[in-house]
């Protein structure tokens, strides 16, 4: 079967495109997983780190211009959820085709986030304490001085990227919005349901057991859910998911 849809994936704070490498090996043949690399990390390590999230989204939209004329969707976790939303807005502002769906994970709706604690640069100890509290970084990595020396500047810049972001009200997107969250994560149900304001064609909220990094703890269940939501957006959807047991609430 040929590829029917591309899912562009935006990383969480401090991460690179490699954070979605395992997903590429687990996707069905009709779905292409395309992690997007951000400036200052991975294959783009030679570029300066971004300092404005809206500008970064506009840059990514220009880079993806030629790839939006086939079926695609956007996914982001944590910081990536905010960036995926702003990318969808930037693509619309540049007159490009809308995604088939916006899938956001581990983050409150843009107008309902608490940005205060990330508005100023955090010191190394503060950053490491934040990493430990999120429980997404192995203890061995936190105790590796050389690894932390490389990782902390990227993480600090990403936290600032979020902390200095200011949401500007905009019209709902012309696609469904599907929200994924961990039952033990910080976002309240009200903060998650507020994503509905941005859904112009259907909305769903799915909870998974776990904390902020439930996408690692529940990887197979998360992938199955994403695949079902994406398949439902395609013409002839039943043909591409004969064994799926997930239904996306409000999908169109």
Residue linked to tokens 């976002």: 187
DSSP bridge pairs for 150: none
Which candidate in 78, 81, 105, 108 is catalytic?
78
Euclidean distance between CA atoms 8 and 76, whole angstroms: 8
CA angle 157, 92, 110 (to 5 degrees): 45
Euclidean distance between CA atoms 82 and 227, whole angstroms: 21
Identify whether 43 is a catalytic site residue: no
State the catalytic residues: 78
């Amino acid at each position: 079967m040929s590829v029917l849809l591309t899912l562009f994936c935006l990383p969480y704070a401090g991460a690179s495109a490699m954070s979605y490498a395992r997903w590429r090996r687990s996707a069905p043949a009709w779905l292409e997983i395309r992690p997007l690399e951000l400036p200052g990390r991975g294959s783009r390590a030679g570029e300066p780190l971004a300092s404005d999230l809206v500008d970064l989204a506009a840059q990514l939209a220009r880079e993806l211009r030629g790839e939006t004329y086939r079926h695609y969707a956007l996914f982001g976790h944590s910081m990536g959820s905010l960036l995926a939303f702003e990318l969808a807005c930037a693509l619309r502002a540049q007159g490009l085709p809308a995604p088939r769906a916006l899938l956001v994970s581990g983050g409150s709706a843009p107008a309902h986030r608490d940005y205060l604690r990330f508005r100023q640069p955090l010191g190394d100890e503060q950053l490491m304490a934040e990493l430990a509290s999120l429980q997404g970084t192995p203890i061995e990595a936190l105790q590796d001085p050389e690894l932390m020396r490389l990782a902390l500047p990227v993480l600090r810049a990403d936290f600032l990227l979020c902390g200095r972001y200011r949401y500007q009200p905009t019209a709902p997107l012309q696609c469904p919005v599907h929200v994924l969250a961990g039952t033990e994560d910080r976002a309240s149900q009200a903060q998650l349901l507020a994503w509905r304001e941005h859904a112009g064609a259907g909305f769903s909220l799915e909870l998974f057991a776990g904390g902020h990094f439930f996408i690692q703890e529940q990887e197979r269940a998360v992938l199955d859910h994403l695949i079902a939501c994406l398949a439902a957006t395609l013409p002839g959807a039943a043909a591409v998911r004969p064994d799926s047991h997930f239904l996306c609430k409000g999908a169109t």
